[in-house]
Amino acid sequence: MNKDLISSEEIDKYVSNEYITPPMMRYKKVSYTEYQRIYRESIDNYVSFWRREAEKLVWNKRWSIDIIGEGVYTRWFVDGEIDVYHNLIGKFKGSWVENKPALIWENEEGETRIILYSDLLKRSLVIASSLSDYDVKYGDWAIIYTPPSIEAFEIFLGLIRRGVAIEFVFTGFGYEELRKRIVNRKARHIVVQDGFIRKGRAINLLRNIAEIINKIDFVKNIFVIKRIDVSKSIDKTVLYEDLLRGSEKNSKPAIIRSIDPLIGFHSGYEDDFKKLTHSAGGYLTQVYSTSRWIGLRPRDIYFCTVWPGWVTGVSYLFFGPLMIGSTVILYEGGPDHPSWNRWWEIIERYSATIFLTTGSALRMLRRYTPQPIKDYNLDTLKAILITAEPLEKDVWNWVYRYVGTGHSPFIDSVPREFSGRIPVVNLYIQSEIGTFATGNLINYVFTELSPGSAGPPIPGFDIDVYDDNDNPVRNKIGRLIIRRPWPSIPIEASEDFIMKWSRGYYDTGDYAIMNERGYITPLGRHDNVLKISGYRISPGSIKKILEEYTRDVVIERVKDDLRFESYKLVISKRSGLEESFIRKIVRERLGAIAEPREIIFID
């Protein structure tokens, strides 16, 4: 998208000159000068800054070289060795954290399950031991294709214990995208839940595996979690229950190299989704640090509505909160079933303290639930975190005032006036970065909030906005860039990612405005990648599927009031395709998230 096409009215929706200090943060915020000093120091000495953060992990062998290479080829903590499982939950053995809930799971019917850290430790060790019987070992890749469930966490931890690298695939993706990820990773193991109930309907995930598995011969095991009783038998199936039979005897932890692959994503580029891989040491360093900084502590009860497969749903669902020892609420279902009050109900019922969600979800909630929020008591919330996409000032204000005021006054917040009480923090994230990179940090350097803005850069991330001539630009649209490599810089990525470093810095592909204080307001992509409900969708992958049926396909990006962006599909009448057929193949092969808003047939 050309920046000249972004109208001033459009910019005005996102950019604010207002600064707000929520009452709850009044005595915790730092001055802008203080922030600048800390940020400047972290950038001027970015290697020692991240070294100090890496030292907060438990290493089996400390690294001797902080950093080698440069730019896109930078590698961090290269000769270090680490037990990832220990850094995730192993370290809590024998501590007070063992007796607190690790995961609270609820589904649409209101069925609830709670598992303590002690049980999660025991079960994951038994599973790790069983996995050794199925030839699951260091160096393997596993694909996890499940909604957020306790069983998925247990198997995930078992795989981590065995030294396996993992890619989560969003359950909203269809079989073609799933196949692509399995093949690109040469994954020897797949973890799948047979299905789940969403908005009252059964979603069959096993069917997608069955559709592709016969054409992939290198997959050795398919670990199946049964939930909705799908009667589908697939070769190489091992049931979750079978993994729990046995003891912990073969659960010796894998100690892996810092630069070994740990987690993978497929990120949306113009022509397709392409793989990128994060290393163990760098990724864990960033995730652990940013999770603490955004506000998570062991006593927190954290509700994250982002599902695994997207970077937030991996870094801040499966890794960060566990590394800290927080309690994580998992909700297996849609936000609107049986009513749009579902998430408020969950926050109230389990005393959630931190709520993380997306701008798209809040746009929808705003539309459907202005009044009923008052029926719920959300006073335990101490922060609302928003991620994944540009956020309108109006949406921020709605969340701050309606959701964030609560019932009890706090300092000078008066509930009846909806004056706001807790911080509503917008954060910028990208799969390539691995973690949040901008935003006001509740537990570190919290400066005033600016509605709609994704805050100032997080210390350690050398972020700026450049014009077309590579000069920093303020209060004008420019390209959001990162000058220096971050610890979790991908160790494996496509040519596209390497090209984004061609001018000596990393171009994120996003437009943004940075104001004189360094606050950043993202405004969407400057390439052709679509940003739908916070997710980067590759227009090329949509085209590839449709071009199997017709060569005359044009994808036109359109603004969407709820999902930020969507697209219009222009197809030649000559193709003979019908709208229902096109929608079906996009939904089944690529995923429901990629369905076009409109299909236009032309002569």
Partner 1 sequence: MREGFAGVKILYKNHMICIDVKEVDSCTYIFYTHDHDRHFPGEKLLRNSYEKIYSIFTGNILSINRLYEFDKKIMIMPTYAYSWRDPDYHPREKGSGFIIKTDVTTYHTGDSELIKEMSMIKDLFENIYVLFIPIEGRGVFTPEEASELVRSLRPSIVVPIHYEDKRKLYLFRDLSYVYSQVTIL
Of 95 and 408, CB closest to partner 1: 408
Cα–Cα distance for residue pair 321/354, rounded to 1 Å:
11
Shortest approach of partner 1 to residue 349 CB, angstroms? Answer: 5
Q: How many CB atoms lie within 10 A of CB 59?
A: 19
Shortest approach of partner 1 to residue 112 CB, angstroms? Answer: 7
**Do residues 440 and 480 make contact, with C-beta atoms less than 8 angstroms apart?**
no
Q: Is 190 helix (H, G, I), strand (E, B) or coil?
A: strand
Beta-bridge mates of residue 304: 356
Cα–Cα distance for residue pair 383/341, rounded to 1 Å:
19
Cα–Cα distance for residue pair 429/455, rounded to 1 Å:
12
Q: What angle do CA 297, 303, 304 make, to 5 degrees?
A: 105
Chain residues binding partner 1 by CB under 8 A are: 99-101, 104, 112, 114, 116, 299, 301, 327, 348-351, 353, 377, 379-380, 407-408
Q: Is 39 helix (H, G, I), strand (E, B) or coil?
A: helix
Give, for 522, the enclosing helix (H) or strand (E): strand 520-525
Round the CA-based radius of gyration of the chain to a whole number and report it: 23
Q: What letter would DSSP give residue 469?
A: T
Of 337 and 349, CB closest to partner 1: 349
Of 379 and 579, CB closest to partner 1: 379
Shortest approach of partner 1 to residue 295 CB, angstroms? Answer: 15
Of 325 and 485, CB closest to partner 1: 325
Cα–Cα distance for residue pair 79/67, rounded to 1 Å:
10
Shortest approach of partner 1 to residue 105 CB, angstroms? Answer: 12
**Do residues 431 and 286 make contact, with C-beta atoms less than 8 angstroms apart?**
no
Of 114 and 239, CB closest to partner 1: 114
Of 113 and 201, CB closest to partner 1: 113
Of 47 and 414, CB closest to partner 1: 414
Shortest approach of partner 1 to residue 301 CB, angstroms? Answer: 7
The single residue listed with the structure tokens 């290697």 is 47
Task: Give how far the C-alpha of residue 327 lies from the chain's centroid of Cα atoms, to the nearest Å.
Answer: 18
Of 232 and 297, CB closest to partner 1: 297
Q: How many CB atoms lie within 10 A of CB 370?
A: 11
Of 111 and 603, CB closest to partner 1: 111
Shortest approach of partner 1 to residue 382 CB, angstroms? Answer: 11
Q: How many CB atoms lie within 10 A of CB 522?
A: 25
Shortest approach of partner 1 to residue 377 CB, angstroms? Answer: 5
Of 341 and 397, CB closest to partner 1: 341
Q: What angle do CA 125, 129, 133 make, to 5 degrees?
A: 160
Shortest approach of partner 1 to residue 119 CB, angstroms? Answer: 9
Cα–Cα distance for residue pair 463/461, rounded to 1 Å:
6
Amino acid, res. 280: A
Shortest approach of partner 1 to residue 245 CB, angstroms? Answer: 16
Cα–Cα distance for residue pair 88/574, rounded to 1 Å:
56
Of 101 and 334, CB closest to partner 1: 101
Shortest approach of partner 1 to residue 348 CB, angstroms? Answer: 7
Task: Give how far the C-alpha of residue 540 lies from the chain's centroid of Cα atoms, to the nearest Å.
Answer: 22
232's torsion region: left (phi>0), alpha (psi -120 to 50) or beta? beta
In sequence order, what are the residues at sequence separation of 6 or more whose Cβ sits closer than 8 angstroms to the Cβ of residue 377? 348, 406, 407
Shortest approach of partner 1 to residue 288 CB, angstroms? Answer: 22
Q: Do strands 564-572 and 553-560 pair parallel, antiparallel, or not at all (unpaired)?
A: antiparallel
